[in-house]
Copies of this chain bind each other. A is one copy, B any other.
Amino acid sequence: MKKVLKFGGTSVGSIERIQHVANIIKKERDAGNQIIAIVSAMSGKTNELIDLSNQISKKFDKRELDVLLSSGEQVTCALLTGALIDQNLNAKSWLNWQIPILTSGEHTNSRIINMNISKINEHLSRGGIAIVPGFQGISEKGEITTIGRGGSDATAVAFAKAFNADSCEIYTDVDGVFSSDPNKIPVAKKIDQISYDEMLELSSLGAKVMQPSAVQTAMMYNIPLEVKSTFTDRKGTKIFDQENIDYRKSVTGVAYSKDDAKITLIGVEDKPGVAANIFEPMNKAQINIDMVIQNISSDQKTTDVTFTIKRNDFLKAKEILENNKNISYKSLTHNDKVAKVSIVGAGMVSTPGVTYRMFKALADEKINILAISTSEIKLSVIIDEENTLNAIKKLHTIFELD
């Protein structure tokens, strides 16, 4: 089998762990697989380098930041490759420019557009193992670029595509994708298999296991993913096409995001272009809008618009709404201590009553729902932040995820 294995920062966070990762790779190699391994910087390293750059300037030049940060994965690449060679394996590291991994876009936020793995393929066909740094590439001008935090997942998926890999395995410090945050909900269960769509919803909604854009790419090219632990032998979570999944449960997981704030504009004039007027200045101020809810207007002349944003954007957003003359409304209400709790499941569409059961469960717990938003495989509610844990626990129980 052709495999791409990706090892995150904690998986390579010490020499001992790097040796352990070398053992995992050796085992996969000995089983007859062709291996390309993608590595992150040792845990803490990227933050350490960012801290150094901040000490020099809060507006540290982005081209040079990429030169700085890319050194982190280079170190891991060399150490892991050295550890494999020490086990008499024919391993070799490839740096971004040696492949090359071509990217486009801005410094610190590029995306991979192409790569040439012909030399790597040649090396693998001779029984070799290839070690590659995640998170980075070079631009068409030959400048070092990085592809944003968590970008090593994207590197892994891009390699899996170019390599036509049979699987792309994301090794991390948890056993897989959980039905909810296992640190908060001790009864949260590892999910054995999940569709790309569900995974996307879960990761967009706060599950930090995989970078959403990497899941998206995997979905686009139908690359089977597996999230698993570097530190245990347990089976991980397989992520693949929805059609191949047997849904016994309507709800796969419960996700949440904290540090949200909610703003409601009451009595907004109900005519075309109003929503654009509200959100254009937000966009200019780089305020990310999460949920937007607008009801049919009762008097057919005005309507109420509710939206949620990150809490640290709250004051800026409020100021914009209060001072921008293009936005007219009767009054503004807000709550800057809310959380979003979501149930996710590709089986939801085919199971009647999921929506009702969610609302009933929250009512039983006397949790007030401040706003509701749905998609085909997701149902999100905004509630007071203090109720978050209670809500997750209750939903987890009634949807039989414990």
- Copies of this polypeptide in the complex: 2
CA distance A142 to B119 in the complex (A): 13
Residue of B nearest to A16 (CB): B55
Q: Please state if A82 and B61 are interface contacts (CB–CB under 8 Å).
A: yes
Contact with B along A44-74 (1 / 0, CB 8 A): 0000010011011101110111011011001
- The segment out of A93-101, A108-116, A384-392 that lies at the interface is A93-101
A141 CB → nearest B CB, Å: 10
Q: Is the CB of A82 within 8 A of B98?
A: no
**Alpha-carbon distance between A52 and B12 when the two chains are bound, in angstroms:** 13
Total interface residues on A, CB under 8 Å, equals 36
Report which of B19, B56, B64, B93 forms a contact with A15, defined as CB distance below 8 A: B56
Alpha-carbon gap, A92 to B62, bound state (A): 11
A52 touches B15 (CB 8 A): yes
Which A75-130 residues have C-beta < 8 A from chain B? Answer: 75, 77-79, 81-83, 85-86, 92-93, 95, 97-98
Specify the main secondary structure of chain A where it touches its partner. helix
Residues of B with C-beta under 8 A to A56: 15, 18-19, 79, 82-83, 86
Contacts of A68 in B (CB 8 A): 74-75, 78-79, 82
Chain B nearest CB from A292 CB (Å) reads 39
CA distance A142 to B81 in the complex (A): 18
What is the 8 Å Cβ interface bit string for chain A, positions 206-226, against chain B (1 contact, 0 not)? 000000000000000000000
Q: Does A341 contact B (CB under 8 A)?
A: no
Name the residue on B nearest A81 (C-beta): B64
- Asked if A168 is an interface residue, CB under 8 A from chain B, the answer is no
B contact residues around A81 at 8 Å (CB): 61, 64, 67
Report Cα–Cα, A78/B67, bound state, in Å. Answer: 6
**Docked-complex contact B59 and A86, CB < 8 angstroms:** yes
Q: Does A339 contact B (CB under 8 A)?
A: no
- CB closest chain-B residue, reference A144: B95
Nearest Cβ in chain B — how far from A277, in angstroms? Answer: 38
Which chain B residue shows the least CB distance to A119?
B142
In the complex, residue of chain B having the shortest beta-carbon distance to the beta carbon of A68: B78
Query: Distance in Å from the Cβ of A132 to the closest Cβ of chain B?
Result: 12
Determine whether the beta carbon of B142 is less than 8 Å from that of A98: yes
Q: Give Cα A57–Cα B77 distance, bound, in whole angstroms.
A: 15
Query: Which residue on B lies nearest to A131, using beta carbons?
Result: B64
With both chains docked as a complex, state the minimum distance between the C-beta of A51 and any C-beta of chain B, in angstroms.
Answer: 9
Cα separation A78 to B83 with both chains bound (whole Å): 28
Q: Do B82 and A64 touch (CB < 8 A)? A: yes
In the complex formed, the residue of B with least CB distance to A93 is B67
Contact of A85 among B15, B61, B79 (CB under 8 A): B61
Nearest-CB residue, chain B, relative to A98: B142
CB proximity of A55 to chain B, nearest CB, Å: 4
Asked if A64 and B49 make an inter-chain contact with CB atoms under 8 angstroms apart, the answer reads no
**Residues of B contacting A95 in the complex (Cβ-Cβ under 8 angstroms):** 67, 144
**Cβ-defined contact, B98 with A79, below 8 A:** no
Given A15-B52, A67-B95, A93-B64, the answer on whether A57 and B79 have CB atoms closer than 8 Å is no
Q: Which of A53, A67, A83, A93 has the most CB of B within 10 A?
A: A67
Q: A65–B83 Cα gap in the complex (Å)? A: 11
CB contacts (< 8 Å) of A93 on chain B: these are: 64, 67
Contact of A82 (CB < 8 Å), options: B57, B78, B92, B97: B57
Q: Can you list the 3 inter-chain pairs with the closest CB atoms, starting with the nearest?
A: A68-B78, A67-B78, A57-B86
Could you show 11 A-B contacts with beta carbons less than 8 Å apart? A15-B52, A15-B55, A53-B78, A59-B86, A64-B79, A67-B74, A67-B93, A68-B79, A71-B71, A71-B75, A74-B74
User: Could you list 4 further interchain pairs (A-B, Cβ under 8 angstroms) beyond the known A59-B86, A63-B92, A65-B82?
Assistant: A56-B79, A56-B82, A57-B83, A98-B142
